[in-house]
Amino acid sequence: MESLSGRALRRRKLRLFLLSPEIDQEWTWTERYAAQPEILRYAHFVADRLGVRPYFTFNMAMVGADYDEAVARWTIRTDKGDSLTAQFVVMATGCLAVPKDPAIPGLGDFAGETYFTSRWPHEDVSFAGKRVGVIGTGSSGIQAITAVAEKAGELFVFQRTPTFSVPARNAPISPEKMDEAKAIYPDRRRDARASYAGLKATPGTRKTFEMNDEERRANFDQAWARGGFSMLGAFPDHMMTIEANDQVADYVRGEINVIVEDQAVAEALKPRGYPIGSRRVALDTGYHAVYNKPNVHLVDLKVDPIRDVTAEGVRTESATYPLDMLILATGFDAFTGALSSVDIYGRDGRLLRDVWAQSADCFLGMAVHGFPNMFMITGPSGPTAISNVIATIEANVEWLVRAFTYARDHDIEALEANADAQSAWAAKVAGLAENSLYMRGNSWYMGANIPGKPVQFMCYLGGLPSYRQICDQVIDAGFEGAFDVTYKAPAEMA
């Protein structure tokens, strides 16, 4: 840590975080939706290109952090028994980092191979000829099911809640197309930054019922053919009224009928009882079609719930499914999981986990009252899950660079989210969500997937541009009314 001190180096580090148009141009993507190996190669490329590898320490986990108010410093404790001290701490711990405990009785007794999609091994896993069970049909389950169905001897999908899933239309990007895209990267970045969800998208301008049935159908057909989140952008009002939402949902359910040959299976796969978009919509590559394969079987847990897992396989109330492999795609303790799973003690010894057990409040999705000088990227109450996550990360990182630069230039010792400002932000986030269709989704966006977790909508629905503006105003006003500021003592400044 000592080697990273020094004003010049600190300045350089701050700049390195910012977007690099040069790097944009140097990297060539090969697919519309790059797979994990390509994304990993990109991460390595960026790290090398920016020369930031020396600043990373790998294979070390934080087990706890303590704030010492007397010196305004954090001490981070690691699993290696070391500790590190810093004025500011940024928790870039991810909003989907800690797997949910599926709490299925007997899971540990299973004698076959068990995998979690959230902790997939780096080595190849062979499904060939095996009897594989997948529990969970969110985005991760849908991707796993589509891949496993190709290779497995038999695949049993244990579905509790069907997910709305639309075609991604993934495809290779030709070098010519890539060149065309690169030529307009700056425009696309600018448009994405100015958009509600941080995505370069051109949502329809006419509302759902401003078209007649035929026009609406044609509009949906085009969106379905385009793929990706186009279905959700076909009309600008799909999250505004349930009537508009039903039109999209009915279209998607209708496509399931077209794709899936067995109509009883099609019926079981149709999501019902919640608005499309209120839970994360999955993007797939041939998901529904896998149910036409003779080796793929849907087990509808709404009709026949899981009783337990035994050494042989999964037992439901009315049947037993012997398996060689079990894959759990059962989701995450989102937003708060990573930081609640370690011991973070703030001012006056308060434990973050206990504070969040009441309510996962977080000012601007970046700071918590009682935890001075600790900041988060994609924390609860930011725009994260409702926006392109990368765009939220950029918004947070750019704001933090400004905040730390301001703090350094104004001899600020400590910044703590003001209690009233945090309450007002929580009220704003809750107010935006209150009458929205999102509240009907029982999703991980609101902690509803974790038993005992307070149910509150954890995403700011005001859109990225307004979020950036609000965050910028805080620094423009010198943190006045938003953060409680402690300045360095005169002796220290000298």
Binding mask 167-206 for ligand NA7 (x = CB under 6 A): ----------------------------------------
Cα Rg of the chain, angstroms: 24
102 binds ligand NA7 (CB under 6 A): yes
Which CB atom, from 370 or from 441, has the smaller least distance to ligand NA7?
Answer: 441
Q: Which residues contact 306 (CB under 8 A, 6 or more apart)?
A: 104, 135, 158, 314, 315, 316
Which CB atom, from 229 or from 375, has the smaller least distance to ligand NA7?
Answer: 229
Question: Within positions 270 to 309, which residues make up the interface with ligand NA7, using CB under 6 A?
Answer: 280, 301, 306
Q: Which residues contact 36 (CB under 8 A, 6 or more apart)?
A: none
Shortest distance in whole angstroms from residue 123 CB to ligand NA7? 21
d(CA 180, CA 174): 10
CA atoms within 13 A on the CB side of 247: 28
Contact assessment for residue 233 and residue 222, using Cβ atoms and an 8 Å cutoff? no
Binding mask 386-425 for ligand NA7 (x = CB under 6 A): ----------------------------------------
Q: Which of 66-74, 136-144, 174-182, 454-462 is the region at the interface with ligand NA7 (rule: CB under 6 A)?
A: 136-144
d(CA 432, CA 383): 12
Q: Where are the beta strands (DSSP E) in 236-340?
A: 282-284, 296-300, 306-309, 313-316, 320-322, 325-328
160 binds ligand NA7 (CB under 6 A): yes
Among 72, 133, 139, 384, which residue sits at the site for ligand NA7 (rule: CB under 6 A)? 139
d(CA 164, CA 275): 9
* Other beta carbons within 10 Å of 92: 13
When CB distances to ligand NA7 are compared, the closest residue is: 138
d(CA 342, CA 328): 24
Among 138, 167, 346, 383, which residue sits at the site for ligand NA7 (rule: CB under 6 A)? 138
Shortest distance in whole angstroms from residue 197 CB to ligand NA7? 13
* Spacing of C-alpha 318 from chain mean position: 36
Which CB atom, from 175 or from 451, has the smaller least distance to ligand NA7?
Answer: 451
Q: For 116, which DSSP code? A: E
Name the burial class of residue 362, with classes exposed (0-12), middle (13-18) and buried (19+) by CB atoms within 10 angstroms of its CB.
buried
Question: Within positions 44 to 83, which residues make up the interface with ligand NA7, using CB under 6 A?
Answer: none
Q: Which of 99-107, 269-277, 406-414, 481-489 is the region at the interface with ligand NA7 (rule: CB under 6 A)?
A: 99-107
Which CB atom, from 267 or from 484, has the smaller least distance to ligand NA7?
Answer: 267
Question: Within positions 331 to 360, which residues make up the interface with ligand NA7, using CB under 6 A?
Answer: 331-332
Which CB atom, from 140 or from 245, has the smaller least distance to ligand NA7?
Answer: 140
Residues that bind ligand NA7 (CB under 6 A): 96, 102-104, 117, 135-141, 160-161, 280, 301, 306, 329-332, 444, 449
